Amino acid sequence: MACRGWNRARTPSSRTTSPRSVRTCADRESCSDSRGAVIAYRLARALGAGWPSGVALVLSAPPDGFPDWHLLPDPELIEIARGFGLVPAAIDDDTLTRFVLPPLRFDLQSISGGWGPLAPIGGPTHVMTGREDVKLSRPAVERLAADVGAGGVLEVAGPHMFVCTNPDDTARELVRIAETMEHPCETGR
């Protein structure tokens, strides 16, 4: 789950960060957004004492609630996927059914049951949320942050999928986290 939302297409421009900062971010963080945040947390929890030192877990756009969408018929799952903005309009329903729904169903089934027991992982943990996220209330995200031992909630402008709608601000926040890992005394974190 290493930085599912961090790829070349979303890498910030040179105006926002230096190449060294981007490399440092990718080397020091494991982050995932939405459904992937649950999987990344479960993996970190399963690693226990094996969590690598000097690496932060970033739970980005964590979900609230885990409906059994993987059990829905194709037309209903397509409607949900399109409603969340997960699929470009240019992809027709047949292509969606053949190529997108199978891995989406697998992802959805893998998070069935939600977060599982919540506890700190024993390493630096951060929870990031979109300021305009209507899918997860602020009290719910604050409870999640407290339960997983995060130092608080980091906000980025945007909705639930702020990683896609606001990649530059998301990248700046990730770089800031990585920099605090390098110099914890200078940043107070």
Q: What is the pTM of this model?
A: 0.71
Q: Which two tokens stand for residue 26?
A: 């990718």
Count each helix (H run) and each strand (E run) in the chain, helices first.
Answer: 9, 4
Element (H or E) spanning 57, and its range? strand 56-60
45-80: per-residue pLDDT in tens? 998 888 888 889 999 888 877 888 899 999 999 998
How far is Cα 15 from Cα 27, in angstroms, rounded to an integer? Answer: 21
Best CA proximity match to 123, nearest among 177, 160, 171, 187: 177
Higher pLDDT, 14 or 154: 154
Torsion of CA 51, 57, 63, 67, to 10 degrees: -20
57-70 b/e (C-beta count within 10 Å ≥ 16 → b)? bbbbbbbeeeeebb
CATH homologous superfamily, domain 8-65+118-187:
Alpha/Beta hydrolase fold, catalytic domain (3.40.50.1820)
CB 32 within 8 A of CB 110: no
125-137: per-residue pLDDT in tens? 999 999 998 888 8
Q: What are the domain boundaries of the chain?
A: 8-65+118-187, 69-110
Block residue for tokens 């969590």: 51
User: What percent of the chain has pLDDT above 90?
Assistant: 35
